[in-house]
Structure 1
Amino acid sequence: MEQTAGEEEQKAAGASALLSVSAAYAGDSSCIGAARHLATGFLTEVQSVHGLPVSGRAMGTTQLVLSELVTNAVKYAPGPVVVDLRIVEGLVRVSVWDSDPVLPEVAAGDPQRVGGHGLEITLAVSQAYEVRREPVGKRVTAVITLTDDPGGDIAGRTT
């Protein structure tokens, strides 16, 4: 596994720094747990070293989404898997690259189906989702908020 981490860019005064971590894996099933561990370490550092808030929900959701995306890459694409986590304006962008150019599709809802729900789960818990072909393979990205209530307000609440 190769890994890089650190501050890449300092935005204008008062704005949060762009932080990221990346790792390349061989693409076997051992990379699923390794990717979850990478996410945990990264978000822990984002909170403890850089002082950005990371809710327990954001930690768990990031691990879940990353696990689902890496599992799909291992299952459907031969070869390496590259994981990239980035903090941008109170969000964590979770990206997974693999060598298969076929874009994933959400399977039709079927409560009898065993397995095949990873993309449904990812879409349900993420604030945004994107998939795009790369010159080789594809990149799947999901976006998760770092805090439970980033705006300090609850929609529909009156005070």
Structure 2
Amino acid sequence: MGSDADGDGCTGQDEHLMRAGYALDGDAGCIADARHHAVAFLDQAQADHHLPVPARARDFTQLVVSELVTNALKYAPGPVLMELRINAHAVDVVVWDSDPTVPAARAADPGRIGQHGLEIVKAVTDDLFIEQEPVGKHITARIALSDTPSSATAARRRT
């Protein structure tokens, strides 16, 4: 992962065709609201920039939004911010929360109930970058806009 203008390890600031930010208040419906924001964002990218957004990318974006926002609300006190960014190749889901603890995917355990969110996110994304901030952290997950996963994603799924 290289360095870039906005420090997320994924893309430079000027490479995005669209960006949108959302403050999530943590109420009972905010995870569903976050998913609705993601769908509306992808619809706008299709309409305004004629970007093809296959069903796979749409579904994975909603899944990643749901998992990252759920984890932020569960483990961090205070507000959660979500930013969506898109270019011709991928959509980035960025979630910020106030807890500086970097999450780690746990070892596979089919008997474990729950706590599979980060495993799921890693399995469906092309890249995942976690950066600690002076207050909290932000997690950036990149989902390809193609119908076929990248070779890196495919390799992770086989292991």
Q: Same fold (TM over 0.5)?
A: yes
2:90–2:145 CA contact under 8 A, matched in 1: yes
Q: Report the TM-score, using the length of structure 1 for normalisation.
A: 0.81
Match of 1:156 in 2: none
Paired residues of 2:102 and 2:130 also in contact (CA < 8 A): yes
Q: Which moved more, 1:17-26 or 1:51-60?
A: 17-26
Unaligned runs of 5+ in 2: 1-12, 151-159
Q: What is the Cα deviation at residue 28 of structure 1? A: 3.4
Q: CA RMSD in A?
A: 2.0
Q: Is residue 93 from structure 1 mapped to residue 92 from structure 2 by the alignment? A: yes
With the length of structure 2 as denominator, give the TM-score of the two structures. 0.81
CA contact (8 A) 2:126 2:149 kept: no
- 1:116-148 CA deviation, whole Å, 9 max, x = no partner? 011000000000000010121000110001121
Tell me the residue number matched to 1:23.
Answer: 22
Closer, same or farther: CA 10–121 of 1 in aligned 2, 3 Å? closer
Give the aligned residue type for 1:141: T
Distance 1:49 1:150, change over 3 A: farther
SS of equivalent residue, structure 2 residue 128: strand
SS in 1 for 2:49: coil
User: Hey, which bits of structure 1, 4+ residues long, moved more than 4 A?
Assistant: none
CA–CA distance in structure 2, aligned partners of residues 96 and 57 of structure 1: 21
Give the structure 2 partner of residue 129 of structure 1.
128
Report how far residue 53 of structure 1 moved. 0.6
Mapped to 1, the partners of 2:80 and 2:14 lie a distance apart of 28
- Kept in 2: contact 1:23–1:82 (CA 8 A): yes
**Partner SS for 1:49:** helix
Deviation string, structure 1 residues 91-131 (Cα, Å, up to 9, x no partner): 10100000000010111111000000110000000000000
Does the 8 A contact of 2:22 with 2:82 survive in 1? yes
Distance in 1, matches of 2:72 and 2:130, equals 13
Segments of 5+ residues of structure 1 without an aligned counterpart are 1-8, 12-16, 152-159
Q: 5 Å matches for 1:1-16?
A: none
Matched positions, count: 139
Counterparts of 1:1-159 in structure 2, within 5 Å, are: 18-149=17-148
Which structure has the larger Rg over C-alpha atoms? 1
Q: Distance in 1 between matches of 2:70 and 2:21?
A: 17
Aligned sequence identity (%):
52
Q: Whose helix fraction is larger, Structure 1's or Structure 2's?
A: 2
Instruction: Rate the CA distance shift 1:50–1:110 in 2: closer, same or farther, 3 A.
Output: same
Distance 1:53 1:61 in 2: 15
Q: Which moved more, 1:103-112 or 1:26-35?
A: 26-35
Question: Letter of the aligned partner of 2:135 in structure 1?
Answer: V
